[in-house]
Amino acid sequence: MPPLGQTSDELRIVAWCKREGDAVAAGETLLEVETDKATLEVEAALAGTLLRIVHGEGQTVQAGAVIAYVGEPGEEVSAEAPAKVQAAPAVRRLAQERGVDLAQVTGSGPGGRVERADVLALAEEGSPGEPVSRHRRALAARLGRSAAIPQFTVGVTVDMTAAAALVAGEQGVTYTHVLLQAIAKALRVHPDLNRLWLEDGPRLRGLERADVGLAVAGEETLLVVTIPEPDGLPLSELAAEVERAAAEARAGRISERYRGPAAVTLSNLGMVGVDRFTAVLDPDQTAILAAGRVAERPAVVAGALRTQPQLELALTVDHRVADGFAAGAFLAAIRDALQG
């Protein structure tokens, strides 16, 4: 199983597109899997015959686990035992008492380990009350991980006069597209924010590209797609790129192009009339920028009181990666890019 998600190493097999004995071409869709974000297609890495399927539809496995064998017709392969679910003995006893199949539990602990709360949450689904979707459970687990990260928020008010002119001059262009470009430009000036904290070590992983995440709201889901280097495209082309990525997210099928790593994500609630908010940090990223609506507000300009289009931004940052000064400088660079 390849590591398809940037947020979780656990994947659930939705459907096999090939059966044992079928011929397989390299690059051909072999199966569909579900992450905590979306349903994705897994392509065959090589050509041959599908000799044995180790993990069937509905099973949840870790990235790196053997899920099937592809080889020459008649080639001998050994049966592979199902992936062992990580859980403490007490948690296993609890699952047995509550009649919960551990293989069907999404673990919220380190490395996908099933915790007591995970078992209880699944057991409660059968009791009176509104059932919680798998995506909502995965989101809740991620929020729990986020709460354990030391983080802080810095804010700034931006004069959006120049940005408003850009939006007005391009059909289909919105403030989201202008913000994505501004974040990418700021990442190039401040590569110390374009890094990810990795628990193994721990260590910091620097990202070479100025890719930017974008939060996309779907039905019962909140997904993040990665927009490749938004400052490298004209605004009109960027608008089309974002539309494609958002459509894939809402359909629950994010292609490889839009699921690469990104250090910073944009969450824009301006379109629903929100003035300001603080976004929750994705535990596998470094920062998230919360953007409210652009509104005409009074401001003192050249000693005179007048109105101007203003935007309030709040940047929430992983304190393990950056301190307040670095975060403030990065946010100032975003403001400068927006103000022209």
pLDDT digits (tens, 9 = 90+) for 207-245: 999 999 999 987 777 889 999 999 999 999 999 999 999
Would you list the domain boundaries of the chain?
10-71, 89-146, 150-339
Homologous superfamily assigned to 150-339: Chloramphenicol acetyltransferase-like domain (3.30.559.10)
pLDDT band (50, 70, 90) for residue 138:
confident
Q: If you classify domain 10-71 with CATH, what class do you get?
A: mainly beta
pLDDT digits (tens, 9 = 90+) for 79-129: 544 466 777 778 888 887 777 877 777 777 766 778 888 888 877 765 556
- Arch. (CATH architecture) of 89-146: Irregular (4.10)
Lowest mean pLDDT among 14-28, 36-50, 293-307: 36-50
pTM: 0.71
pLDDT band (50, 70, 90) for residue 135:
confident
3-state secondary structure the chain: CCCCCCCCCEEEEEEECCCCCCEECCCCEEEEEECCCCEEEEECCCCEEEEEECCCCCCEEECCCCCEEEECCCCCCCCCCCCCCCECHHHHHHHHHHCCCHHHCCCCCHHHCECHHHHHHHHHCCCCCCCCCHHHHHHHHHHHHHHCCCEEEEEEEEECHHHHHHHHHCCCCCHHHHHHHHHHHHHHHCHHHCEEEECCCCEEEECCCCCEEEEEEECCEEEEEEECCHHHCCHHHHHHHHHHHHHHHHHCCCCHHHCCCCCEEEEECHHHCCCCCCCCCCCCCCEEEEECCCEEEEEEECCEEEEEEEEEEEEEEECCCCCHHHHHHHHHHHHHHHHC
